[in-house]
Each structure stands twice: as C-alpha cells, then as structure tokens.
Amino acid sequence: MSLPPLTRASALRGGLVVAVGAVAGFTVARLGGLGTTEEPGAANAYGTAPSDGRRLAALDEVPADGGLVLVDEGVVLVRGSGEEVWGFSAICTHQGCPVSEVTGGRILCPCHGSAFDALTGEVVAGPAPTPLEPVEVEVRDDEVVTA
C-alpha cells in the first residue's frame, strides 16, 4: 500500500493544524486555573507554599529593609525597618523561575528581568503577568514561621 504524494496544500493544512494546536495548548496551560475555584496546580510551579506553622528563618536572618529568598521553601521573606515580615511565593509568575534577590525595594527574577514590589508582590517590571502569590507568615519568638 503506498501513500498519496504530499502536496503543497496538504503540507500547509498540516502546518496550520500544528500551529493552532500549539496556540491552544499554550493558552490552556497558561490560563488553566481561570474560572475555577481550585488552587493553581503545582505542576507548573505556581501557587503558594503550604501554611503549617513551620519555621522558615530566624528574624535576624532577614535583613531590615531587605529580604531573604528561601528557594527550597519556595518563599521569599521581606522585612521593613522593624520586625514586621511579609512572605511571597519565590516563584516568578512569568515562567516559574525562582526569584534571586530582594534589593532596592524590589524582588528580582534573574530569568527574564521581572521585578516585583517587595512590600506588595505587585509586578513593577515585566514580562511577569501577575503579582507574586502572598504567603502568610508571622514572627514568633524571633522566628519567622508560616501562619
């Protein structure tokens, strides 16, 4: 049994099907959690760290007016001039890279240059499309723990 010869028209149709499928797949993967009541899935590394009261760092390990990235925990801790500490997901919302540092009031992602406001997690420089997810933390006995 022999196959019919490949024509220009059939090659173009095949390419169009592949392109449409790629765009649809990207869109579904990128926007998969919209319109549902479920939390974003861990498969794409988005989402928040679990809140179980576990120790993240000693308060003095988080620099005043700076922050500490805990890649293994998936959390970035930010501290003002006092003892108040905020937590955010350490995973950039652009393509799931871990953020690398907190400097100049910004949380920075080294992969594609996204920057987030250190106190709110809001995007201040793209390509990240959404803010960093907040992680509830609290200070107990000079220790920063998940709330």
- In tens, the pLDDT along 102-111 reads 989 889 888 8
Average pLDDT for 23-45: 49
pLDDT digits (tens, 9 = 90+) for 63-73: 988 999 998 88
What pLDDT sits at residue 87? 93
DSSP 43: G
| pLDDT for 35 beyond 50 | no
- List the strands of the sheet with 75-79, edge to edge: 66-70, 75-79, 85-89, 134-135
CA distance 130 to 124: 10
Contacts (Cβ under 8 Å, ≥6 apart) of 115:
106, 107, 108, 109, 123, 124, 125
CA distance 137 to 88: 9
Q: Which residue has the higher pLDDT, 38 or 99?
A: 99
CA distance 17 to 21: 6
Q: Collapsing DSSP states into helix, strand and coil, what is residue 41?
A: coil
Residues of 54-89 as b/e, b for ≥16 C-beta within 10 angstroms?
eebbebeebeeebbbbbeebbbbbbbeeeeebbbbb
What pLDDT sits at residue 28? 55
| pLDDT for 74 beyond 60 | yes
